[in-house]
Amino acid sequence: MKTIDTRGLSCPQPVIMVTREIMAGEKNFEVLVDSEASFENVTRLLESKGYKFTVAEKDDHKAIKAEK
């Protein structure tokens, strides 16, 4: 499973990175986010593209596992 590490980046960069992977045909991947804005924007994008996802809370970030 591919990991997209967006920790330390501000929006819209995390959304752009996830969009690139979706456009490249990735079906299963994990996104690491460390801000609430990035979390909300990435999960909104995943929902709009028909991905199902789970969220795991880590010490300093959230891991979003997405699959289609």
Per-residue pLDDT of the chain (68 residues; tens, 9 = 90+): 999 999 999 999 999 999 999 999 999 999 999 999 999 999 999 999 999 999 999 999 999 999 99
Residue 35 φ then ψ, to 5°: -135, 150
| Predicted model pTM | 0.95
Q: Are 1 and 10 in contact (CB under 8 A)?
A: no
- Residue 15 is inside which H or E element, if any? helix 13-23
> Which domains does the chain possess?
2-67 (3.30.110.40)
Distances (CA, A) of 11 to 1, 5, 19, 23, 39: 23, 13, 13, 19, 10
Residue 11: closest CA among 46, 40, 54, 31: 40
